[in-house]
Each structure stands twice: as structure tokens, then as C-alpha cells.
A and B are shown apart, each in its own frame.
Chain A
Amino acid sequence: QVQLVESGGGVVQPGRSLRLSCAASGFTFSSYVMHWVRQAPGKGLVWVAVISYDGSNKYYADSVKGRSTISRDNSKNTLYLQMNSLRVEDTAVYYCARETGIAAAGSRYFDLWGRGTLVTVSS
């Protein structure tokens, strides 16, 4: 079954750390660029970070840059997001998403999403 399953969310105090995981199954994980997207309660979708197929290239939203690290273990078919120095405004559902498409054909898109994991930052 082709799916992504996030885990690792929970309630954490401001300033603490959390590592999110995204387990992939049913497809060749190492062939895909992977993203994290978050959604604060009642708000819209916000892109967080991206990692290339082999993990050699990573980019972050300004809101998490310097505090978060995206990584992947292709041998374990798992994507990670290490989040440090958490802030109240990091409270959100975090989704991992698979990017598919052919850039040369003018299409790149997120065709597979996990169900999300909720991170609540509160004292």
C-alpha cells in the first residue's frame, strides 16, 4: 500500500526539541524529493522544508531555518524533521508529502500526503 505515516508529535514546552518521522511504504522512497508542510490550527498550509532524493540538498522556510533539520534514511524509507528551540507559533499539524512530476514538462506536485502529526508547543 502506497502511504506515508507521520509520527513523533506531541505536547512540548517552548525551547525544547522534537523529532518527527515519516515512514514511507509501497513505493521507491529513494526516488522522490520529500517535503514537510505544516498547518496551524484553523489556518492554511505552510511549506516548511524539502530534501532531495539522496539528502544532499535541503531548503527551509525562513520561519524554521536555523532551528530545524530535515533528513532522510533511504535504507529505512524514512523522512525526519528535527525541530529545536520550539516556539508557541510552531504549534501545527505537520504533514510529509511526496513530490512527483517532470520539471521539464512544467509540472511538479505533491501527489501523496501523510495524515499528519500534531505538535503542540505550550508551557
Chain B
Amino acid sequence: DIQMTQSPSSLSASVGDRVTITCRASQSISSYLNWYQQKPGKAPNLLIYGASSLQSGVPSRFSGSGSGTDFTLTISSLQPEDFATYYCQQSYSTPRTFGQGTKLEIK
């Protein structure tokens, strides 16, 4: 199975900050990397697919990059509604493993 490791596990930031979350795969997954946002009590919501493609309806302040084993999710200017938990997921192979999550909190 492919293991996905996110860092950091938690992050405190302020509105307007630029934030970067990283995700590393245990083997190459090409660009089969997705990012999801989850708010408490809600289902996950797709933000980025194929490492860098923005899902329809997602604000352009979200962006993704990377290929192979190393990937990043960047939020260019944090908004109050962005405080949530973020997960990466590989879709290169089954099982479709997720990272452990990064909780983004208000500083």
C-alpha cells in the first residue's frame, strides 16, 4: 500500500496569511494526488485533483503543485472560512490512501 504523510499535522495562522501544506507519498504516484477540505461535522470537499487542477467552484486562492512523491497545497491569503482540516489522497492505486490530515487553526 502507498503511505501518504502530511506535514505539519496542525498549523496556526492568521487571516490573510499564505499557508503551505505538504504531502509525501511513499512511492511515485505521478500526478494522482487530490486535496480535500473538511469542516467539523461535514463531509470532505474536493479542492484540487490531479495535483494541480482546481475543482469547479473552489476559490482561486487554493492551488496545488508537485508530482512524483512530493506535493503541496497552498492557500494564498487565508480567509475565515478556510480554517478546517485538509487531507491529501493518492488515487494512483487501490487502496486510495489518505494522509493523516492537517488541522488549520486561527492564530
Contacts and interface: CB of A to CB of B under 8 A. Distances in A.
A32 interface: no
Contacts of B83: none
Nearest to B44: A113
Given A110-B89, A116-B43, A44 B50 contact: no
A35 B32 contact: no
B31 A107 contact: yes
Nearest to A48: B95
A107 B90 CA distance: 10
Contacts of A110: 34, 36, 44, 46, 89, 96
A59 interface: yes
Contacts of A44: 87, 98-101
B53 interface: yes
Contacts of B89: 45, 109-110
B22 interface: no
A113 B50 contact: no
Nearest to B29: A106
Interface string B6-23: 000000000000000000
B30 A106 contact: yes
B interface SS class: loop
A45 B101 contact: yes
A106 B44 contact: no
Contacts of A114: 43
A103 B91 CA distance: 9
A61 interface: yes
Nearest to A4: B43
A95 B34 CA distance: 17
18 contacts: A35-B96, A44-B87, A45-B38, A45-B44, A47-B97, A50-B96, A99-B91, A105-B50, A106-B32, A106-B50, A106-B51, A107-B31, A108-B32, A109-B49, A110-B36, A110-B44, A110-B46, A113-B45
